[in-house]
Amino acid sequence: MAFDTVTLAIFGGRPIATESDAEAANAGELLIRIRTSDLDSNVLDAVEQQVDMLCVDYSWADADELLEQALVWLDHLNQVRSTRTTLAEHQRILELAGWLSLLIGTVCFDLADLSAAEGARRTAVALGKELQSPELEAWGHELSAWFSLTDQRWERVLPVTSAGRAIAEHRGVGAQLAIQEAEALARLGARREADTALASAQTILEQLPAPANPLHHFSVEHDKFDKALMRIHLIQGDDRRAEMLSTELERRFTNSDGTMSKPMRVADARTVRAVVAARQGDLDHALDLAHAAFDIKRRTVPTLIKHTTELATFIETNHPTHEGAREFLLRRSRLADQPTTAQAVGEAG
Amino acid sequence: MTRPSSQPPVDAFLHRLGQSDLDQESIDRIDAAVERMCTDYSTADPAELSDQAQAQLNEIDQMLNQRLMLGQQRSLFEAAGWLALLVAALSYDQGDTPTAERSRQLALNIGEELGSTSILGWAHETDVWTSIATADWTAAIRKADEGLAIIGADEPTGVGIQLALQQAEAAARLGETSLMRGSLEVAEHQLAQHTPPSNPRHHFRFDHAKFDLRKMRVLLVTGNDDEAEQIARRLLSEAEGSGQESAHPMRTSEILTTLALAAVRRGEVDQAVELAEKALDIGRRSTISFRQLTAVLADELKKHTAVPDVSAYLERRQEMLTSRG
């Protein structure tokens, strides 16, 4: 155990005397002990590395496996909580638990386990408050806004994003919240306000330092902005721009061997082009694209359902008897309880 | 592989993050004990109180082995910080400088870990106090500056007022009048903005009544005896009127010594000796500051050794000092 190392690291090399001379037998020894730690300082470095890896793997790895791993590390942190630590170590344990909670909330939502997702989100917010970490707390709001957006409760999004933005200020998560606000405003038909929100997201993004780890799920980068812009173009009826951006993003997240670096973003892009095709009257192409989006193994179920809502409504209204269309509707309604391992990533192309 | 939404682990794992082995009552009990001990500082037997404080630190040490919420750990560290400061003050009073310095260092470290400007401020205050007690005025001025630089305007215990007053006193001893006036101004400005503490007897809360005492000391040093005596008389009558005389023996002792000094300088030797003896009866605690406080008086009285009571006083004072050595 590295008591001295930890003490030295935290207190800038000014530890109090550690020799236990006779004079110090009572108060002295006790006073030294008060600030000791039983935690091996490497443990938290190791856990942090694992948490970061899971956050990087989020965009492509199997959701069930991600959840399982995240829970293993959360359990480990829970065990570490029973160890005597310094205050700084304790804060770090909770901070790691906070990021894991956010990841767990996100993955549970992808798996359509909404109550677990909300529980994890609330845990992250509570930890953010306890740690006075605006970053964690703001991401808790981001998840909440995402849940409401996916639930198509646009009016619920705005108070959440505005509370989150007040906390996040110019951090990356602030840009992400502004992006969410822009989508909600676009859905509510507030075109100008949506543009303003997008512009402030862009301003924040431009002023951010280059992310240390752009692949980390909680690192906000321009891809997230482009994804939102694509969706907003579609909402606002700018089909040409939406389609162009969709094609561009699918290419960006597809590797040369056909596998996908960010499968959920590819699915997202495909649903946009599916809607555009349907609007142009090309039902078969729209269905092909929608199926191609459903085929992707790594998915976020509620979002996939949300992004095919317009297509489903279009079919129910205009082609209620079309056989291929009915197959699509059936598949869509079963998304939530489909085994996620049924298809291999390769199949999705 | 799909996780049915009813599967419990996620909630169970999250729930465990909020569990603690320590209840709030234990934290409240410790906070109350710390408050009581810091309040008892001026009246309790220092060795006894020091033992109590160390026993409490021991209990906190045990509690820190348990699974705690972050807020609970912070509370325990904060309690430990004040106890360390208390042990430091008591150890200085008893002449145990090594323990005092060790405790003060612990308080500094805890203050840094907590980011508590109050604990850091009082750790500096203790340091300034020892410099003043050993007549190292230059160091006192520098250390007071360091302390003042740490604390912000909204620091709740009023340690900034105390530090500025200490600096004024050290400047007065050096004859640096303009620094003394500047420091007094800083102190008065901070006093005006500070809410008087709900428990002014807490050793680490600036008691607004102490302000006049410190000002009196500074005035005395710079030779403004009349003004100092005026303040001393007012304070003494206030203390007598409210029956607080015995609650603050060291303060009363200082007031009496001030009056004695003013009296002897006026040539009223009999009255001076009477007041000085009364101060000795009460002020038998803080040896270093006592030594210093009465040294000036003793020097003045030595000019009047023809008066029999003067020699008796000087002998008694010497006896007390050596018995504490």
Integer Cα distance of B258 and B253 in angstroms:
9
Report pLDDT for B289: 62
- Four-CA torsion A206, A210, A213, A217, nearest 10 degrees: -10
* Residues near A7 by beta carbon (within 8 Å), at least 6 away in sequence: A15, A35, A36, A37, A86
Integer Cα distance of B110 and B90 in angstroms:
19
Integer Cα distance of B82 and B33 in angstroms:
11
String of DSSP letters for B285-324: S-HHHHHHHHHHHHHHHGGGTTSHHHHHHHHHHHHHHHHH
Which of B7, B11, B13 best tests the A interface by mutation, with the highest count of A CBs <10 A?
B13
**Structure-model confidence comparison of residues A285 and A9, the more confident one:** A285
Integer Cα distance of B254 and B264 in angstroms:
15
pLDDT in tens, A238-280: 999 999 999 999 999 999 999 999 999 999 999 999 999 999 9
Is A34 an interface residue toward B (CB < 8 Å)? yes
Integer Cα distance of A231 and A249 in angstroms:
12
How near does any CA of chain A get to the CA of B106, in Å? Answer: 7
Cross-chain CB nearest to B98 (options A23, A77, A131): A23
A to B CB pairs, distance under 8 Å: 129
CA distances from A328 to A268, A294, B5 (A): 16, 9, 24
Say yes or no to pLDDT of A348 above 60: no
Integer Cα distance of B211 and A171 in angstroms:
46
pLDDT in tens, B64-103: 999 999 999 999 999 999 999 999 999 998 989 999 999 9
Cross-chain CB nearest to B11 (options A62, A91, A116): A116
Backbone torsions φ then ψ of A254, nearest 5 degrees:
-110, 130
Report pLDDT for A311: 93
How near does any CA of chain A get to the CA of B17, in Å? Answer: 6
Binned at pLDDT 50, 70 and 90, residue B244 comes out as: low
Q: Helix, strand, coil: what percent of chain B each, to 5?
A: 75, 0, 25
- Does the beta-carbon distance from A339 to B2 stay under 8 Å? yes
- Does the beta-carbon distance from A31 to B106 stay under 8 Å? yes
Rounded to two decimals, the ipTM of the complex is 0.77
* Residues near A240 by beta carbon (within 8 Å), at least 6 away in sequence: none
- Does the beta-carbon distance from A35 to B58 stay under 8 Å? no
Which of A7, A30, A338 best tests the B interface by mutation, with the highest count of B CBs <10 A?
A30
pLDDT in tens, A185-200: 999 999 999 999 999 9
Is A118 an interface residue toward B (CB < 8 Å)? no
Amino acid at B21: D
String of DSSP letters for A171-237: SHHHHHHHHHHHHHHHHTT-HHHHHHHHHHHHHHHHHSPPPS-TTSTTS--HHHHHHHHHHHHHHTT
* Residues near B253 by beta carbon (within 8 Å), at least 6 away in sequence: B279, B280, B282, B283, B290, B293
Query: Which chain A residue is nearest to residue B106, measuring alpha carbons?
Result: A31
pLDDT in tens, A29-64: 666 677 788 998 799 999 999 999 999 999 999 999
Number of continuous H segments (helices) and E segments (strands) in chain A: 18, 0
- Please give the distance of CA B99 from its chain centroid, rounded to a whole number: 17
Task: From chain A, pick out residues whose CB is under 8 angstroms from the CB of B120.
Answer: none
Least confidently predicted of A306-310, B39-43, B150-154, B220-224 = B220-224
- Does the beta-carbon distance from B109 to A14 stay under 8 Å? yes
User: In chain A, positions 87-106, which contact chain B (CB-CB < 8 Å)?
Assistant: 87-88, 90-91, 94, 97, 101, 104
Binned at pLDDT 50, 70 and 90, residue B305 comes out as: confident
How near does any CA of chain A get to the CA of B40, in Å? Answer: 20
- Does the beta-carbon distance from B3 to A67 stay under 8 Å? yes
Please choose, from the candidates B242, B248, B195, B186, the residue with its C-alpha nearest in 3D space to the C-alpha of residue B218: B186
Integer Cα distance of A143 and A69 in angstroms:
20
Q: What is the pTM of this model?
A: 0.80
For residues A179 and A201, the answer to whether their CB atoms sit within 8 Å is: yes
Report pLDDT for B284: 59
Integer Cα distance of A148 and A306 in angstroms:
11
Dig out the tokens for B217 from the structure.
Answer: 């000391």
Query: Which chain A residue is nearest to residue B54, measuring alpha carbons?
Result: A27
How near does any CA of chain B get to the CA of A127, in Å? Answer: 9
Backbone torsions φ then ψ of A217, nearest 5 degrees:
-60, -35
How near does any CA of chain A get to the CA of B96, in Å? Answer: 10
- Does the beta-carbon distance from B113 to A17 stay under 8 Å? no
Is A17 an interface residue toward B (CB < 8 Å)? yes
Is A123 an interface residue toward B (CB < 8 Å)? yes
Is A335 an interface residue toward B (CB < 8 Å)? no
